[in-house]
């Protein structure tokens, strides 16, 4: 059950909410099961907020900060999460049907058994993201970076992975994954594939399994961001306060 005081503050708007978070950085807001249907939360600082079981259907969370937020079993159907930062967020069992996650950062987030059917994940950053048993039916993963992501037993029926980066991506046991889909990826270097798919790729698209040439945009992208992630073990309280104060 949500904390009535926390919900009342959120209802006063993003500016009031962010100021309150600045003044009370040690409080972990509790918004469990709250009804936030079509709430305007663009740019909201929701670091560590407990939103388990909340309804965020059609909510606008564009550019919001959801570092380590608990979004387990949250209803996010048709929600706008474009460019949202979901570093290490828990989205296990969340419903993201037709949600917009374009350019969202889901690094180290967990989305086991989450529903992403028809969701837009174009250009999304899914570094070492756990998508085990996720439903990605007709999901748009075009140009998304799934470096080290786990898609074991995920359903990729009719999902678009055109120019997606599948470097070291775990795809063993993925459902409805076709050679046609894989052929559209930017790279499959060190990706874990079922034997039959690997054999087909080796036969028809061997270059996808090779390490991209030095200077390749894919390699440059990975190296540059890997260095950042090694430094970013998680958002610090000081960084959080700084971002709030500049809003």
- 3-33 tens-digit pLDDT: 999 999 999 999 999 999 999 999 999 999 9
In this prediction, residues 58-75 reach a mean pLDDT of: 98
Quick one: pLDDT band at residue 84, thresholds 50, 70, 90? very high
In this prediction, residues 209-230 reach a mean pLDDT of: 67
120 neighbors 103 (Cβ within 8 angstroms): no
Phi-psi label, residue 72: left if phi above 0, alpha if psi -120 to 50, beta otherwise: beta
Q: Give the residue ranges of DSSP H helices in 160-210.
A: 179-183, 195-204
Dihedral angle at the C-alpha atoms of 128, 144, 99, 72, nearest 10 degrees? 0
SS3 at position 110: strand
Tell me whether residue 158 is exposed, middle or buried, using C-beta atoms within 10 angstroms of its C-beta: 0 to 12, 13 to 18, 19 or more. Answer: middle
pLDDT for the residue 10: 98
Q: What angle do CA 79, 84, 90 make, to 5 degrees?
A: 80
How far the first Cα of the chain sits from its last, in Å, is: 30
Quick one: pLDDT band at residue 236, thresholds 50, 70, 90? very low
Report whether pLDDT(153) > 70: yes
Q: CA-to-CA distance for 22 and 45, rounded, in angstroms?
A: 9
Report whether pLDDT(139) > 60: yes
Q: What angle do CA 14, 16, 22 make, to 5 degrees?
A: 100
Which of 159-168, 175-184, 207-216, 232-241 is predicted least confidently? 232-241
> Can you give the pTM of this predicted structure?
0.89
Q: How far is CA 241 from CA 23, 37, 235, 244, in A?
A: 9, 28, 10, 5
242 neighbors 21 (Cβ within 8 angstroms): no
In this prediction, residues 102-118 reach a mean pLDDT of: 97
Q: What is the DSSP letter of 233?
A: S
Report whether pLDDT(229) > 60: no
pLDDT for the residue 220: 64
In this prediction, residues 27-41 reach a mean pLDDT of: 98
In this prediction, residues 166-179 reach a mean pLDDT of: 97
In this prediction, residues 35-42 reach a mean pLDDT of: 98
125 bridge partner residues = 105, 145
Q: Which of 37, 44, 39, 35 is nearest to 16 (CA)?
A: 44
Place of tokens 């550019």: 63
Report whether pLDDT(74) > 90: yes
Q: What is the mean pLDDT of the chain?
A: 91
Q: CA-to-CA distance for 90 and 52, rounded, in angstroms?
A: 9
Q: Which of 98, 90, 60, 63 is nearest to 74 (CA)?
A: 90
């Amino acid at each position: 059950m949500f904390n009535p005081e926390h919900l009342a503050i959120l209802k006063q708007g993003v500016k009031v909410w962010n100021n309150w978070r600045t003044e009370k950085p040690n409080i972990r807001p509790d918004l469990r099961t709250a009804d936030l249907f079509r709430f305007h939360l663009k740019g909201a600082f929701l670091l560590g907020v407990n939103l388990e079981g909340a309804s965020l259907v059609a909510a606008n969370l564009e550019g919001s900060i959801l570092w380590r937020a608990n979004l387990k079993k949250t209803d996010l159907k048709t929600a706008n999460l474009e460019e949202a930062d979901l570093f290490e967020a828990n989205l296990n069992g969340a419903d993201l049907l037709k949600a917009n996650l374009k350019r969202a950062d889901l690094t180290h987030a967990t989305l086991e058994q989450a529903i992403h059917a028809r969701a837009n994940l174009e250009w999304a950053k899914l570094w070492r993201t756990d998508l085990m048993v996720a439903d990605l039916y007709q999901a748009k993963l075009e140009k998304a970076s799934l470096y080290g992501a786990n898609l074991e037993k995920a359903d990729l029926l009719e999902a678009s992975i055109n120019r997606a980066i599948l470097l070291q991506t775990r795809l063993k046991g993925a459902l409805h994954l076709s050679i046609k889909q894989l052929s559209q990826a930017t790279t499959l270097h060190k990706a874990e594939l079922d034997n039959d798919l690997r054999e087909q790729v080796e036969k028809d698209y061997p270059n996808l399994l090779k390490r991209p040439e030095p200077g390749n945009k894919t390699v440059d992208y990975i190296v540059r961001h890997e260095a950042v992630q090694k430094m970013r073990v998680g958002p610090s309280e000081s960084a959080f306060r700084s971002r709030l104060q500049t809003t």
